Structure 1
Amino acid sequence: MSEPRITDLAGALTRRENPAVGVWNRLEGRPRTTDFTRALRAEVRDPLWLLARQWQLGEFRGSDAGSPVTATYSVTASAPGRFRSDVEPKGTPGPLPPDRPLETVAERRPLPFAFGTEPISFDLRLALGRRWLRLLARASGLGDAAEQFVALYPIALPGPDDAAQLAHPEVWAATQAVAGRRLDGYLLYQHLKGGGHASDGIRSLSRQQRTKLDALGPRLTGWFDDLIDQPGGITPDRPSGDSAWDPRRLEHRFSIAAGDRVLSAPEYPGGELDWHAFSTVPGSLGATPAPVTLNRTVFPSPVRYSGMPLPRWWAVEDGKTNFAAVTPDSTDLARLIFLEFALVFSNDWYQLPCDLPAGTLATVGGLCVTDVFGERRWITPAGAAEHWSMYTLGGGPGMLLPPGTPKVATGPALEDVALVRDESANLVWGIEQTVRTTTGEGRAGDEMAAESLAFRRRRHQPQQPDAPRAPIAYEVMSSVPENWIPFIPVHVPGDSRAVQLQRAAMPSEVDASSIRPRTALLREGFDRGQSYFVNEEEVPRSGTRLTVSYNRTRTKTGRVALWLSVRRDVGRGERSSGLAFDLAKGT
């Protein structure tokens, strides 16, 4: 019999024509006793089945192996003692300074004090001048010569067409404040480094005063040379000296020698320098310090890590680490090796303590292990016969602990250049995102370019065009911001297929003159009238970013190290400049 159908549900509920009964029930445990001893024993009803499972999985299979008790090893430690810049042409090998981190020696670059004939870095010029005037004030009888030095090495006001200073209000204000009042210390520094004397050009000095004044010159040059590390070997033919920065490859390239081995770092981008940046190469860089042999007997300890599988079958493991959630691909060899180690061979590994000083190339000469049965075994390197290895330097055994520094303080970017591809214009652009001003600090490149363009427009008023005679006008080429420096593809000499990137120049929309780069990174060879080329593969589709900044750290002896360096990072993809040709615009 079917249930009656309620057509008016609201009315039926109001009149209570169909009463209903609601029932709520709760399930809860009601223990019958207060003694839980038997429940906590977790009694097993079929122990034979459990033993059979352990036998089936091989837990009763003996390997007749003993656990290691002691281990004796011999390690040969060689300290790196030679350094060479591998930028073509390769520099002359020289001693590696023991009081400098390797990052300092590898990354340091010359300080730019001029762009052509235009002086820059007035912050350093004034610092040198203040130091010299302070030396004069402390020396008795030489304080009156300060005014003569200010007149002999002055900071001059810029010319009326000097857009680098006059176009930027803060730069022009700073120049006005010091012009004729402060000493350009870099001019004096150049005079002293060139073999001159501090007393040259100073009048009304006695012989004793000249001798005392000349003795202050080496103190000034020594102070500045110790203040900021710069590469040595700077000559007119090699203006960067033994700097390891390769402007063509956009990376640092250098080699060090430790013992009888030469370790090369061919692709160091800057920043953190570790052992994996090096590989062994043939050759020699000269004599190095004699290696030291360390013989030690230690106690091995089993390897332990979070989520490690327990060796016993019925042990309860920690569930915080879930190796089952790792899903490697068939080509992900590193992850597969890690999983095999973690799940299969984890309890077969032991670790031995081996303390080594920083700045050594360590090679294990031998390892002997004694187990609990008193047997001694000679351990050979894994994979020696199969030519397979890990954590090696590509040409032989050994572990390198670079003589670096654990922490480096990096200052704000003085130059920031983004090398990007523009597929629409078929060009590579060097975008000067941050530009070093004449006074030494960094500013946004687009702001500097806009101020320079506005200054030139005020200086060169364009002629008024004739009245339009047609509804459209022809424009040869559009303009781009002046902080966008083009790189055009050209063929490598002697190769009809290989392509390299050559720095070019855009015409100014004011007077059609070539726009010059405002960063030392993109002015490579510009002041010497040389072209600048970049390997085409150094600018991928993701782009390349280069930053120049000061770095500061302390060595293990407490000495402060300060240097200027370039760091390379990955860019942020392609960009569009909006450059177009053969345009028709409405009048």
Structure 2
Amino acid sequence: MSGTLYNPCEPFQAYNRLETRTREESLNSALSAKIHDPLWMLARQWQFGEFKGEDTGSAIESKVAIKTQRLNYFKPNYGNWKNIDDTVPMEITVEKLHQQLGIRSAYYLGKKLLRQIDQSLHGHAGYAPGMYSKNLISRFGFQAPMLNDGDEIQDLARYAQVMARSQAYNYLKTLEGKALDAARILKAQNANPNFINGLSISNPSGFIQPAHLTHINTTLQLWKVQLIEEFNLPELQEEQSWIPEKMEYAFDTASVKLTEEDLRTLHAESYFQGHLDWFSFDQIHSSDALELPDIPTNPIERHVLSLIPSEASIAGMPVSRWWEMEDGKVDLGNMSASDTDLAKISITQYAMNYSNDWLVIPFDVKSGSLCEVEGIVIKDVFGFRTHVEAAHKQDGNSGLGWGMYGQSILNENKEYLGMDKKIFIPDSLAKTLESEPIEKIKMIRDEMANTVWGIETIIPDLMGSGISGSDTANRLEQLIESFMDQEKAIEEIEANDPKYLAEAESNGQVRQWKPPLKYILSNKISENWIPFIPIHKPGQAINREIIFQRASMPRTISGIEPHAVRPQTGFLRVGIADNNQQNKPYFIHEEEVPRAGVTLIGQYQLTRWYSGKRLVWYGARKITGKGEGSSGLRFDLLTDNK
């Protein structure tokens, strides 16, 4: 035993606690926490460092000078400059895409067109209600596909794609020869605006009287305008801002006063979030003159207002009053952060130390405007006035300062030149209703197969909604196999005919022996998996960058020639005609498909604009994927010959 004294108990500690006590029925006196000793309050102020203050007063008045200017022009990625349409938010103008009309919509729009034709020709000589309905339906009515022996291979696959969608196929069978297909009328109208003139009775197959052609043409034009406005369709391909190679939107918008020096061009290089905001834009300085439609007359507006500033508040912010109970929904003091959690530590320190140092001065800005704060003057309780400068001016006159809500100034080569102090308030929508996805594609990397797959998880069901891509692919393959099995059954019946057998024996033909094993070049992959193979970017001899090119898996079914499997979503069918023939290749930049992958979603959206106007459009957005995947693609297989 050593002589060291071991004391397992800690020293006894005593605490004194002061508590309020009331002998009244009401708790108002106790909760007020009255202090009758001023010296105690002074000691508490000294304890909290109140005597080390800067002797600054509280803000009681603010005067702000602000300049605003509306943007005048908009340019889609593939189009020309045009005036901004205030009746439609910029977010819809950017996002709107072409989407095939569903069978339901095509049916009701077809009925509407026939009704409008009757109304436009009502009372005209030689016209009776419904006079042209039967002939128009025979020319542009709904058609249900059928599989025939003489069909081309891709036509056979295209018909099977429609028949695999059982609900759409049943609708087509019901409406066949009974209703007008508005989608076919719109397609003919886009191909030839005066196609109705070819249906005049002066032509061998015509049925429309020449006196009625002008009224029907006018009705068709009005019907098309109403259809485009109802679904917010881009009338031409050049009016779309969608870039297939990037799977993103890109567009420009400009503002000009009266001179060339006042011109400001804002460029959105990469917009895919589904909600348009200030951070999507950069300011471009270019020496090229813009071909603008006109010179607007709306000048820069200047506003000077005086307001009482109010304290900005955030969730979990400590209150500035001594005896006010704080909201316990956000407990920043209970946030657990290790030494490496710099973000948590920074946010907590800011919220505890500086969160109540901010003031709010409200000002209503018209959407679609550039806004510049010229200056802010704050008056405190002591009568002193302080001029508040912008944060980006603290770096002197270099122009390279950082601003929270400004646009980066770039040159033609996208090099950073500085920060613009103006703030852009785009036509963003506060709330939208989104439908279930009509199209959903998962772009994943498959390192084992050294390729990228575009998995069509959801494809259009031709009715106006979405359907499972894998289930439809399985039904399509089964449909073609069952059709080919019927052909095989007919051949086997002929082959087993006694006359056929006798003729074969006389010619020396015998049945061949079936081997137990068979060689397969590769296994089958579900048809909703579309491959993108890496190739060298065309036109580069020195810097051989990689780009992904859309490829095709072969459809191998016994009895027909192997042929390419085509995608069924509009996003992946770029360059593929309606007859499934590829007119041009489709490329995707390598950086657009990271290791985490991306998910591309196309859906209808609904919102309300000013005056309660209802707006519907079809748009796309891109989100981050869930990592790599494997298709299970294998080559050179030896399997049982069952």
Q: What TM-score comes out, normalization by structure 1 length?
A: 0.81
Q: Please report how far the alpha carbon of residue 532 of structure 1 lies from its aligned counterpart in structure 2 after TM superposition.
A: 0.9
Q: Please report how far the alpha carbon of residue 487 of structure 1 lies from its aligned counterpart in structure 2 after TM superposition.
A: 1.0
Letter in 2 for 1:445: G
Give runs of aligned pairs for residues 493-572 of structure 1, distance below 5 A: 493=538, 494=540, 497-510=544-557, 511-527=561-577, 529-572=583-626
Match of 1:150 among 129, 134, 137: 137
Aligned match of 1:95: 83
Whether 1:432 aligns to 2:456 is yes
* Cα distance in 2, alignment partners of residues 185 and 45 from structure 1: 85
Letter in 1 for 2:451: L
2:94–2:251: 8 Å Cα contact kept in structure 1? yes
- After superposition, what is the alpha-carbon deviation per residue over 1:272-321, rounded to whole angstroms, capped at 9, x for unaligned? 22222223332476456433221111112233445443557x75763724
2:74–2:84: 8 Å Cα contact kept in structure 1? yes
Identity among equivalent positions (%) equals 28
Greater displacement, 347-356 / 99-108:
347-356
Report the 3-state secondary structure (helix = DSSP H, G, I; strand = E; otherwise coil) of the residue aligned with 2:173: helix
Whether 1:457 aligns to 2:481 is yes
Greater displacement, 48-57 / 561-570:
48-57
Report the 3-state secondary structure (helix = DSSP H, G, I; strand = E; otherwise coil) of the residue aligned with 2:457: strand
Q: Please report how far the alpha carbon of residue 253 of structure 1 lies from its aligned counterpart in structure 2 after TM superposition.
A: 1.4
Letter in 1 for 2:168: V
Q: Please report how far the alpha carbon of residue 195 of structure 1 lies from its aligned counterpart in structure 2 after TM superposition.
A: 3.3
RMSD: 3.4
Aligned match of 1:578: 632
Aligned match of 1:105: 93
Greater displacement, 102-111 / 251-260:
251-260
Q: 1:77 to 1:512 in 2, by over 3 A?
A: same
Greater displacement, 566-575 / 427-436:
566-575
Whether 1:375 aligns to 2:399 is no
Report the 3-state secondary structure (helix = DSSP H, G, I; strand = E; otherwise coil) of the residue aligned with 1:132: helix
Report the 3-state secondary structure (helix = DSSP H, G, I; strand = E; otherwise coil) of the residue aligned with 1:66: coil
* Cα distance in 1, alignment partners of residues 269 and 455 from structure 2: 26
Q: Please report how far the alpha carbon of residue 513 of structure 1 lies from its aligned counterpart in structure 2 after TM superposition.
A: 0.9
* Cα distance in 2, alignment partners of residues 398 and 330 from structure 1: 38
Give runs of aligned pairs for residues 383-402 of structure 1, distance below 5 A: 383-386=392-395, 387-394=401-408, 395-402=419-426
Match of 2:282 among 269, 279, 293: 279
Letter in 1 for 2:161: A
2:103–2:168: 8 Å Cα contact kept in structure 1? no
* Cα distance in 1, alignment partners of residues 33 and 221 from structure 2: 86
1:77–1:361: 8 Å Cα contact kept in structure 2? yes
Q: Please report how far the alpha carbon of residue 255 of structure 1 lies from its aligned counterpart in structure 2 after TM superposition.
A: 2.1
* Cα distance in 1, alignment partners of residues 312 and 165 from structure 2: 63
Letter in 2 for 1:195: P
Aligned match of 2:533: 488
Greater displacement, 393-402 / 55-64:
55-64
Letter in 2 for 1:388: W
* Cα distance in 2, alignment partners of residues 517 and 262 from structure 1: 38
- After superposition, what is the alpha-carbon deviation per residue over 1:343-399, rounded to whole angstroms, capped at 9, x for unaligned? 223443322122223332221012222233333332211242232332333331233
Greater displacement, 52-61 / 136-145:
52-61
- After superposition, what is the alpha-carbon deviation per residue over 1:205-240, rounded to whole angstroms, capped at 9, x for unaligned? 6665444434322222222122221224x3xxxxx3
Aligned match of 1:5: none
Letter in 2 for 1:459: F
2:309–2:361: 8 Å Cα contact kept in structure 1? yes
Aligned match of 1:230: 233
* Cα distance in 2, alignment partners of residues 66 and 360 from structure 1: 35
Aligned match of 1:85: 76
Match of 1:292 among 269, 288, 301: 301
* Cα distance in 2, alignment partners of residues 316 and 407 from structure 1: 35
Letter in 1 for 2:85: P
1:107–1:270: 8 Å Cα contact kept in structure 2? no
1:106–1:244: 8 Å Cα contact kept in structure 2? yes
Aligned match of 1:9: none
Report the 3-state secondary structure (helix = DSSP H, G, I; strand = E; otherwise coil) of the residue aligned with 1:241: helix
Whether 1:179 aligns to 2:145 is no
Greater displacement, 559-568 / 477-486:
559-568
Letter in 1 for 2:407: L
Aligned match of 2:153: none
**Structure 2: runs of 5 or more not aligned:** 1-20, 149-155, 202-206, 257-262, 396-400, 409-418, 493-510
- After superposition, what is the alpha-carbon deviation per residue over 1:460-518, rounded to whole angstroms, capped at 9, x for unaligned? 34799964546x54322111111111111112231555221111111112132111111
1:554–1:561: 8 Å Cα contact kept in structure 2? yes
Whether 1:342 aligns to 2:351 is yes
1:152–1:201: 8 Å Cα contact kept in structure 2? no
Whether 1:59 aligns to 2:57 is no
Letter in 1 for 2:194: G
Aligned match of 1:128: 109
- After superposition, what is the alpha-carbon deviation per residue over 1:407-463, rounded to whole angstroms, capped at 9, x for unaligned? 222222222111112222222111111122345442211121112212222333479
**Structure 1: runs of 5 or more not aligned:** 1-32, 114-120, 235-239
2:200–2:210: 8 Å Cα contact kept in structure 1? no
Whether 1:324 aligns to 2:333 is yes
Greater displacement, 161-170 / 395-404:
161-170
Match of 1:219 among 208, 217, 222: 222
Aligned match of 1:245: 242
Q: 1:474 to 1:263 in 2, by over 3 A?
A: same
2:535–2:549: 8 Å Cα contact kept in structure 1? yes
Q: 1:509 to 1:54 in 2, by over 3 A?
A: same
Q: 1:282 to 1:231 in 2, by over 3 A?
A: farther
* Count of residue pairs brought into register by the alignment: 537
* Cα distance in 1, alignment partners of residues 69 and 549 from structure 2: 43
- After superposition, what is the alpha-carbon deviation per residue over 1:113-139, rounded to whole angstroms, capped at 9, x for unaligned? 7xxxxxxx5444434321211113334
2:266–2:283: 8 Å Cα contact kept in structure 1? yes
Letter in 2 for 1:366: G
Whether 1:361 aligns to 2:370 is yes
Whether 1:188 aligns to 2:169 is no
1:301–1:350: 8 Å Cα contact kept in structure 2? yes
Report the 3-state secondary structure (helix = DSSP H, G, I; strand = E; otherwise coil) of the residue aligned with 2:118: helix
Aligned match of 1:13: none
Letter in 1 for 2:424: L
2:76–2:238: 8 Å Cα contact kept in structure 1? no
